[in-house]
Amino acid sequence: MAKRGFGAYMGVTFLIGFGFFTMGLMDPLYDTYVPLFLRRYVASNALVGGIMTLDNVLQLLLIPIIAVWSDRTRTRIGRRMPFIVVMLPLSALLFHFIPVTAALSLGALVALLFVFNIFKTSVRGPVVALMPDTVPGEFRSEANGVINTMGGLGLIVGTLGLTRLMDRSEGLPFTVASLFILLAVAVLLLFVRERSAGENAAEERIPVLKSVRLAFSAGNGAPQILISLFLWFTAYEGVKPFLGLYLVEVLGVAESNAALAQGVAGISSVLAAIPAGYLAHRLGRRRYIRLCLCFLAAILILIPLSGALALAAGVSGTGRFVLFLALMFCYGAFWMGVVVNSFPMLWQMARFGNVGVYTGLYYTFSQGAAILAPPLTGALIDLSGYPGIFILGGACMLAAFLVMGSVRSGEAGSAPLGESPGGAS
């Protein structure tokens, strides 16, 4: 089937992308406005960052469990879809009520965020695993580019569209996003058919511990990839929650424009996602990821340096704001090059029966970084101001570049450890 080319899988990949579209809608609204809601009750940036790691803690605990559970689930509508049709609608309902509880009290807001993140976290693993269940390993970079394009479109709609509604009502963007999520569930349920486990009977149920041992065995590149993604997610997650506050508190931007940094990065992500998959197929996934990491490190270090130079040169606040958005545009494009190709490298080492295990490992390391980073960078802001978080992020990107240099597997067409290329999923 792989010889048919990626075009044969383009349609179903776009349909699966609707699940990622919902994540793209929710994440920027959550990451931008929940810290602002929290600041009404909490003065410390470190404490705000700590509360913002709540979803990351739950992702660290729940995504591996739910992803493995979905590996072993067998129903008439598939092994991933039961989780999607239950958890996504519940996530939509609770997302709608975030601004409502934010107006009540800190306790009500934190309680709702906890329950909301349980449901939102539980569905992420099954949504992510839908694509490698459907698309052959050779084309997963291209497919991940399509899916991340859909996620980027959601981010653009969320940041540049729905946030415009904040001037009319705090709750309106969250309500509209919730309705989009319900529509996406209907699309997935009606039009996506999961591949039958019967087509992969020999690999149907691989013990979890055996899968983990294979991932960390000699000759497998998974450990280096996992360490690298821990480092680059430390950089990414350490900066992301404070972009809105940086715009408001340093550059003097209105709160209604606080999501513009993520919106601009989202535009470049959409433009770069599909080309990133094709370029990595041609140049090699590892080589392309390392190239992107170099540019990401340079951009993060340039943000405080260029801002300081512009301020010293008497550039207006508007000029510094435009310069910052230009750097974020470049950042989004190169970040997408890393994201599009790192998951396919891990999936290339998996088999049909343990895709969820490798998905879980990805989130164990990425969310471990996401838990550590926000309180660390929040404390860094409290101690030395905002420039430190960008410099720390650049250093982490460079460290990830060095670790990825030792990866020798996970390219398109390679097989899981111990198999010939013909046996790869």
pLDDT in tens, 41-97: 888 777 887 788 777 778 778 887 888 788 777 888 888 888 999 999 999 999 999
Whether residue 388 contacts residue 381, with contact meaning beta carbons closer than 8 Å, is answered with yes
Residue 236 is predicted with a pLDDT of 94
pLDDT in tens, 300-330: 999 888 877 777 777 766 788 888 899 999 9
- Alpha carbon distance 159, 163 (integer Å): 5
User: Which has more pLDDT, 332 or 5?
Assistant: 332
Phi then psi for residue 66, to 5 deg, are -70, -40
Whether residue 340 contacts residue 275, with contact meaning beta carbons closer than 8 Å, is answered with no
pLDDT band at 149 (very low <50, low <70, confident <90, very high): confident
Q: What is the pTM of this model?
A: 0.76
How many residues does the structure list for the chain?
A: 425
314 exposure class (CB count in 10 Å sphere: 0-12, 13-18, 19+): exposed
Residue 424 is predicted with a pLDDT of 39
Axis crossing angle, helix 106-134 with helix 54-71, rounded to the nearest 10: 30
- Alpha carbon distance 158, 150 (integer Å): 12
Phi then psi for residue 419, to 5 deg, are -120, 160
User: Which has more pLDDT, 16 or 292?
Assistant: 292
The domains of the chain, with CATH numbers, are 10-194+210-417 (1.20.1250.20)
Whether residue 80 contacts residue 194, with contact meaning beta carbons closer than 8 Å, is answered with yes
Amino acid at 378: G
- Alpha carbon distance 204, 211 (integer Å): 13
Cβ-based neighbours of 32, under 8 Å, separated by 6 or more: 159, 163, 243, 244, 258, 259, 262
Half-sphere exposure of 396 (CA within 13 A, CB side): 24
pLDDT band at 2 (very low <50, low <70, confident <90, very high): very low
Residue 367 is predicted with a pLDDT of 82
Question: Which candidate, 139, 159, 151, places its Cα nearest to that of 19?
Answer: 151
Q: What is the DSSP string of 291-307?
A: HHHHHHHHHHHHHHHHH
- Alpha carbon distance 254, 33 (integer Å): 13
Tokens of 417: 């450890």
pLDDT in tens, 52-67: 877 777 877 888 788 8
SS3 of residue 77 by DSSP: coil
- What is the mean predicted confidence (pLDDT) over 144-165? 81
Whether residue 23 contacts residue 149, with contact meaning beta carbons closer than 8 Å, is answered with no
Amino acid at 63: I
The per-residue b/e assignment along 39-56, b for 16 or more CB within 10 angstroms, e otherwise, is beeeeebbbbbbbbbbbb
pLDDT band at 166 (very low <50, low <70, confident <90, very high): confident
- Alpha carbon distance 43, 57 (integer Å): 22
Best mean pLDDT range from 56-65, 237-246, 257-266: 237-246
Whether residue 131 contacts residue 231, with contact meaning beta carbons closer than 8 Å, is answered with no
Question: Which candidate, 230, 196, 224, 216, places its Cα nearest to that of 357?
Answer: 216
pLDDT in tens, 369-407: 888 888 899 889 888 888 889 999 999 999 999 999 988
- Alpha carbon distance 344, 271 (integer Å): 19
- Alpha carbon distance 392, 373 (integer Å): 10
Triad 366, 148, 232: Cα angle to 5°: 30
Amino acid at 49: G
Residue 327 is predicted with a pLDDT of 94
List the end-to-end C-alpha distance of the chain, in Å, as a whole number: 11
SS3 of residue 425 by DSSP: coil
Residue 425 is predicted with a pLDDT of 41
Distances (CA, A) of 348 to 3, 72, 334, 335: 17, 20, 22, 21
Tokens of 62: 């729940």
Strand ranges, E, within 258-355: none
Triad 77, 186, 4: Cα angle to 5°: 65
Q: What percent of the chain has pLDDT over 90?
A: 27
Tokens of 75: 């129903």
